[in-house]
Amino acid sequence: MPGGAGTMQAWAVSGHPGGPGRLVRAERGVPSPVGDEVLVQVTACGVCRTDLHLADLELAPRAPLVVPGHEVVGRVVALGPSAGARFGPGDRVGIAWLRRTCGSCRACRRGSENLCRSSQYTGWDADGGFAEYAVVPEAFAYTLPDGFTDEEAAPLLCSGIIGYRALRRAALPPGGRLGIYGFGASAHLTAQLAVAQGAEVHVLTRDRAARELAADLGAASVGPADGRPPVPLDSAILFAPVGGLVPTALAALDQGGTLAVAGIHLTDIPALDYQEHLFRERTLTSVTANTRADGEELLRLAGRLDLRPRVTAYPLDRVDMALGDLAGGAVTGAAVVRVG
């Protein structure tokens, strides 16, 4: 169906957080690609915790009744008038969180487009992939590696990319000891990446099924989120949006270690004790979105290292159930919406 013809089914943020009704079903016109955009017929879309934060208004929607979903896989079906340099009709592409940047600010010029003050995001500023069609600027779409089904490829586009950037921000030395706090969609991919690159991975999470998955994926140890790993850590990543775990993770670091906080939302961090948590050159840092280079690097590594996303699929008419399961801790690995 060409852009602008007919209607499509979608799910939009309702403004009623905290349970059933977070999203509302909506019938929308199929969008028309303008300028440098391509129109993508969606086949799968991952369900990210950021979608839950948005639906629960922990992130304020930037557009009324916005359609979430930013781990989008589909086929190009139409081109805007200035698109076509990278993709043509029928190409399989991915749409991720970062949607557009200004390209001219200090951050963009120095290669830190993830810090662009004018950046825009899929499923937050503009409609995303919990729908049958979506548009994206061609320069911000991704070529996807072979060897992954559409459902397997979807979590790579945020869970994978953000996990990869968090791993880089955590400054893990070669063969080092990595602690992972929380073990959802992003963490289960990051753990595979770290193990494949020779790291010793220690997973700390409250969920028993997640601990079993972590062990199956090669973790050297698994334990409760508020526990202590059996060895001092060179690096750690906090994926759980729980600020109370920041002191716990910092205290588990060896001297010179780094803790990277990967989430876009975090509950309040308790007071830190300088000697216990930061002295001996421990570092606390955050992760803000990603650059396109991060995405391209992760997608290359995903194919080369044979990452295997563990997915639970939901039909498009059960997006609200997928978010509810994610909120209730009932998803092990990644949730993915099957579209079309």
- Torsional class of 161: left (φ above 0), alpha (ψ -120 to 50), beta (otherwise): alpha
Q: How far is CA 214 from the centre of its chain?
A: 18
How far, in Å, CA of 315 to CA of 333, rounded?
17
Q: Cβ-count burial of 125 within 10 angstroms (0-12 exposed, 13-18 middle, 19+ buried)?
A: middle
User: Any residues with CB less than 8 A from the CB of 309 and at least 6 apart, and which?
Assistant: 148, 152, 153, 154, 155, 156, 159, 160, 185, 188, 189, 333, 334
Question: Could you give the C-alpha distances from 235 to 1, 36, 179, 277, in angstroms and in order?
Answer: 48, 40, 6, 13
CATH of 161-286, one of 3.40.50.300, 3.40.50.720, 3.40.50.1100, 3.40.1440.60: 3.40.50.720
- Six-digit token pair at 202? 């220690």
Neighbour count for residue 315 (Cβ, 10 Å) = 11
pLDDT truncated to tens, each residue of the chain (340 aa)?
566 679 999 999 999 998 888 999 999 999 999 999 999 999 999 999 999 999 999 999 999 999 999 999 999 999 999 999 999 999 999 999 999 999 999 999 999 999 999 999 999 999 999 999 999 999 999 999 999 999 999 999 999 999 999 999 999 999 999 999 999 999 999 999 999 999 999 999 999 999 999 999 999 999 999 999 999 999 999 999 999 999 999 999 999 999 999 999 999 999 999 999 999 999 999 999 999 999 999 999 999 999 999 999 999 999 999 999 999 999 999 999 999 7
Model's pTM, two decimal places? 0.95
Q: Per CATH, is 7-157+310-338 categorized as 3.90.180.10?
A: yes
Q: Taking the domains of the chain in order of start, what are their residue ranges?
A: 7-157+310-338, 161-286
Q: Which residues contact 36 (CB under 8 A, 6 or more apart)?
A: 80, 82, 83, 137, 138, 139
CA–CA separation, 211 and 182 (whole Å): 10
DSSP assignment of 208-228, as one string?
HHHHHHHHHTT-SEEE-TTS-
Residue with tokens 């029928």: 90
Long-range contacts of 215-223 (CB under 8 A, 24+ apart): 217/188, 217/191, 217/192, 218/191, 218/192, 219/180, 219/191, 219/195
